[in-house]
Amino acid sequence: MHKSFTLNRTDNIELNLYQYGEENCDKGHSFGPAVRQHYLFHYVISGTGVLHSEYGAFPVVAGEGFLIHPHDVTTYRADKKDPWHYMWLEVDGLVAGKIFEECRLSRQFPIYRPRRTDETPQALSYLRQLVSHDDEHRLKTLGLSYLFFSALIDNALQGSDEHPSDKTQHLHKAVKLIENRYHERLTIERLAAYCNINRSYLCRLFKGAYGIGPKEYLLNFRMTLATSLLRNSRTAIKVVGISVGYENQLHFSKAFKQVHGVSPAQWRQENQPDNAPPCHKG
């Protein structure tokens, strides 16, 4: 289920509500990498998922929420077994930043955690009312958005500004090394040594955060970059392989087919820039 509204008028200088909606995601559904022009807050009603930003991977469960700041590159993904169902709203304005500060949210700590976990939190009640209205009730939707944020602030966990856990720091370091050194001969042992942890623990961290091991994460990252090069340039397939860490073209083709089911040449033929599917807004 996907439901969203985009407001045509955004003339309130203090708090502008640009759009809002609801999404019941499929297993493993992801959105991004993407950049937003305004604050985007998701409230998770059920299920779980992970938010990825330059500051790391942040698991989110039912009753929690996550904030995306303007101009930040993020990706968020529903769990493969228990996908999330969330409601979301996009806002900006003079008081927007202050509201999220009072919710104890920042770029480094983007996950909202409630102090009380009532069966039906007041904030969720206001949000459900908000999502059920369209632009014809503009003043009511704006009023409900204030009530929603007020309830979030009242129930914000005061300790949410603690330092990130060691697990998050280790994951962040490993992912950053992959992003910066994917074209080199990266091994799981090198990743683990860089994070000063053993191989088994690193694999458990990746499995817990992403549902896959670091080897598969590296493979997927390389193949994502490879598809971008294949789609948007005329670079020779051998050079594409070298660019993403494969000196041997046969090894690259085998790895590519493992992920995408076809050879790089066939994928390039079938995927042109003007055939890209549209993305949803939420």
Q: Are residues 154 and 195 in the same domain?
A: no
Q: Are residues 18 and 126 in the same domain?
A: yes
Q: Are residues 137 and 29 in the same domain?
A: yes
Q: Are residues 202 and 250 in the same domain?
A: yes
Domain count along the chain: 2
pLDDT of residue 4: 47
pLDDT of residue 162: 43
- Please give the radius of gyration of the chain, using alpha carbons only, rounded to the nearest integer: 21
Encoding tokens for residue 128?
């459900």
Tell me the C-alpha distance between 276 and 274, whole Å: 6
Q: Are residues 51 and 183 in the same domain?
A: no
Q: What is the CATH number of the domain that holds 239?
A: 1.10.10.60
Tell me the C-alpha distance between 2 and 161, whole Å: 33
pLDDT tens sequence for the chain (282 residues): 444 445 544 555 678 888 888 898 888 888 878 888 889 999 999 999 999 888 778 888 888 899 999 888 888 999 988 999 999 999 888 888 888 888 888 888 898 888 776 655 788 888 888 888 766 567 788 888 889 999 888 888 765 444 456 777 888 888 888 888 899 989 999 999 998 889 999 998 888 777 788 999 899 889 888 988 898 888 899 999 999 999 999 999 999 999 889 999 999 988 865 544 444 445
Query: What is the C-alpha end-to-end distance of the chain, expressed in Å?
Result: 12
Question: Domain for residue 139, yes or no?
Answer: yes
Identify the domain boundary among 143, 161, 179. 161
Question: Domain for residue 68, yes or no?
Answer: yes
Q: Are residues 217 and 85 in the same domain?
A: no
pLDDT of residue 145: 87
pLDDT of residue 161: 42
Question: Domain for residue 250, yes or no?
Answer: yes
Longest Cα–Cα distance in the chain: 62
Identify the domain boundary among 131, 161, 191. 161
Question: Domain for residue 185, yes or no?
Answer: yes
Q: Are residues 89 and 215 in the same domain?
A: no
Question: Domain for residue 281, yes or no?
Answer: no
Question: Domain for residue 282, yes or no?
Answer: no
pLDDT of residue 214: 92
Q: Are residues 150 and 173 in the same domain?
A: no
Question: Domain for residue 92, yes or no?
Answer: yes
Encoding tokens for residue 150?
């007020």
Residue 273: C-alpha distances to residues 35, 61, 230, 240 (Å)? 19, 36, 10, 17
pLDDT of residue 139: 78
Q: Are residues 157 and 49 in the same domain?
A: yes
Q: Are residues 57 and 104 in the same domain?
A: yes
Domain encompassing residue 207 = 166-275
Report DSSP state, residue 106: -
Encoding tokens for residue 171?
């994951």
Q: Which residues contact 143 (CB under 8 A, 6 or more apart)?
A: none
Encoding tokens for residue 102?
């009072």
pLDDT of residue 136: 59
Question: Domain for residue 280, yes or no?
Answer: no
Q: What is the CATH number of the domain that holds 100?
A: 2.60.120.10
Q: Are residues 152 and 183 in the same domain?
A: no
Q: Are residues 238 and 271 in the same domain?
A: yes
Identify the domain boundary among 134, 161, 188. 161
